[in-house]
Amino acid sequence: MTRESTDILISGGGPAGLAAAAAFGSAGFSVICVDPTPPVTDGDAEGADLRTTAFLHPSRAVLQAAGLWDRLEPHAAALQVMRIVDAGGPVAEPRIVKDFDAADISDEPFGWNFPNWLLRREMVARLADLPTVSFRPGIATTALFTREAEARVTLSDGAIVTARLVVAADGRNSTIRQVLDIGVHTLRYGQKALAFAVTHPIPHHNISTEIHRSGGPFTLVPLPDRNGQPASAIVWMETGPEVARLAALPERDFEAEMNMRSCQILGPLKLATRRSVWPIISQVADRMTGERTALMAEAAHVVPPIGAQGLNMSLADLRVLLELAEADRAGLGGAKMLETYQRRRHLEVKARVAGIDALNRASMMGGQTFRDLRAAALDTLYSVAPLRRTMMRAGLGVR
Ligand SMILES: Cc1cc2nc3c(=O)[nH]c(=O)nc-3n(C[C@H](O)[C@H](O)[C@H](O)COP(=O)(O)OP(=O)(O)OC[C@H]3O[C@@H](n4cnc5c(N)ncnc54)[C@H](O)[C@@H]3O)c2cc1C
């Protein structure tokens, strides 16, 4: 049995765990990061994550600190305008179109969009450059024992690692969270999301478009051109049975349905990847800390993919953890650091999850009266300029 010690043990090498490993490793902490599932780093490979992540601009500073931004920037598609379309009338056509332009609040775009498989590729490459980080794909955390002074983590290869801080980034069913007996509050919608990429004849002009009718939003997020054609990532949310039906349709029938749902806003869409299906829930952990342990990302909070919040909230967790760790290196993983983390993140996370839950429920509305109310609310919120700007800042997570 091998025994070793490290400053930080990260359970989970999804996008959040890998970003955390890069950030702490870049700050000079020794890091071991484990994940039972080796990351798929090629978009065409079986099991590749075909979702994309729109990083909002507060996330860029964290990616810079982690030494990731310079690697990612050449692959970015900027998001300058967030267009909200209400197509909730009796006929599926746009009846209200509102553009939220980043220029109203900043000289920067709202954010930058990247395929998730590419994030993994660049993050794994960054870790290979960091002598402070040992990334171990194929290995899981299996047990955790903590004392005031340190945590002892057992790994699936039998190794025992002593760490000053354990970061649980092991997803919505987090092993570490369960070992610590931290409960979760989960909301289910009976809803799933289809995620895939398309090409289209009309350029997107860096506009991300969210179309609301019923069942959930249909969102087009800009991607760099694909084989010389304008391209977008799509997240299409619907009830579970409807997503199962859509996912099983032959390609041409699927394209016909998708073109009805998109209201042809970018012309006829052509499927460019396979379709992947994701379950949709909201979930918040009862606490974000245990002795010598911090929960982050989906181990602590899960939200429906609306307004590009999920991984951005995770990088906000990381920003606070990193700031506290660097401010008091000797206090890494101690009670003071973890109490401050809990205080700075948990209420904010709960408020954001509640806000996204409300937006998702509004987008799912099926009855005509409710859909008309939703359209009227969008119209009113948009027309009051200070309110509009406040909403845009809140969406980005800046004051
Ligand atoms: C359709 C869709 C679109 C989205 N779009 C956006 C967007 O535009 N912007 C945004 O910010 N967010 C977005 N999100 C959210 C974002 O994709 C997620 O927040 C993010 O992928 C979750 O990352 P994670 O690292 O927390 O979790 P995961 O990716 O679930 O990673 C957890 C990892 O932990 C590992 N693990 C599990 N058990 C163990 C163990 N015992 N030991 C060690 N490791 C373990 C797993 O193998 C896994 O690799 C979207 C989500 C969906 C569903």
Residue 110 near residue 80 (C-beta atoms within 8 A): yes
Is the minimum distance from the CB of 192 to ligand 1 under 6 angstroms?
A: no
Q: Which residues contact 338 (CB under 8 A, 6 or more apart)?
A: 289, 292, 293, 294
| pLDDT band at residue 184 using 50, 70 and 90 as cut-offs | very high
CB atoms within 10 A of CB 260: 12
Is the minimum distance from the CB of 173 to ligand 1 under 6 angstroms?
A: no
Among 8, 11, 32, 53, the mutation site with the greatest number of ligand 1 atoms within 8 A of its Cβ is 53
| Cα distances (Å, whole numbers) of residue 173 to 153, 301, 383 | 18, 11, 42
| pLDDT for 398 | 66
Q: Which residues contact 113 (CB under 8 A, 6 or more apart)?
A: 52, 53, 54, 55, 76, 77, 78, 79, 208, 221, 222, 223, 233
Residue 395 near residue 57 (C-beta atoms within 8 A): no
| pLDDT for 399 | 59
> Mean pLDDT, the chain, as a whole number?
92
For residue 100, pLDDT beyond 80: yes
Residue 169 near residue 176 (C-beta atoms within 8 A): no
For residue 232, pLDDT beyond 70: yes
Ligand 1 closest atom vs CA 11: 43
User: What single-letter DSSP state applies at residue 146?
Assistant: E
For residue 93, pLDDT beyond 90: no
Mean pLDDT confidence for 367-371: 76
List phi, psi (to 5°) of 31.
-135, 135
List phi, psi (to 5°) of 348.
-60, -45
| pLDDT for 141 | 98
| pLDDT band at residue 90 using 50, 70 and 90 as cut-offs | confident
Ligand 1 closest atom vs CA 18: 25
For residue 244, pLDDT beyond 80: yes
Which residue would you say has higher pLDDT here, 364 or 204? 204
Is the minimum distance from the CB of 289 to ligand 1 under 6 angstroms?
A: no
* Residue bearing the CA closest to ligand 1, atom 48: 14
Is the minimum distance from the CB of 395 to ligand 1 under 6 angstroms?
A: no
> What would the pLDDT profile of 189-222 be if each residue is shown by its tens digit?
999 999 999 999 999 999 999 998 877 889 999 9
| pLDDT for 393 | 78
| pLDDT band at residue 181 using 50, 70 and 90 as cut-offs | very high
* Residue bearing the CA closest to ligand 1, atom 15: 310
| Cα distances (Å, whole numbers) of residue 65 to 12, 20, 141, 270 | 20, 10, 27, 38
| pLDDT for 25 | 98
Give the lowest-confidence range in 72-81, 83-92, 192-201, 223-232.
83-92
Distance in Å, CA 311 to ligand 1 centroid:
8
> What would the pLDDT profile of 22-76 be if each residue is shown by its tens digit?
999 999 999 999 999 999 998 888 888 888 999 998 899 999 999 999 999 999 9
* Residue bearing the CA closest to ligand 1, atom 31: 14
Residue 301 near residue 308 (C-beta atoms within 8 A): no
d(CA 156, CA 11): 12
Q: What percent of the chain has pLDDT over 70?
A: 99
Distance in Å, CA 16 to ligand 1 centroid:
7
Mean pLDDT confidence for 122-146: 98
| pLDDT band at residue 386 using 50, 70 and 90 as cut-offs | confident
Per-residue tokens: 186: 């989960």
For residue 224, pLDDT beyond 80: yes
Angle of helix 15-26 versus helix 310-327 axis, rounded to 10: 20
Mean pLDDT confidence for 262-268: 92
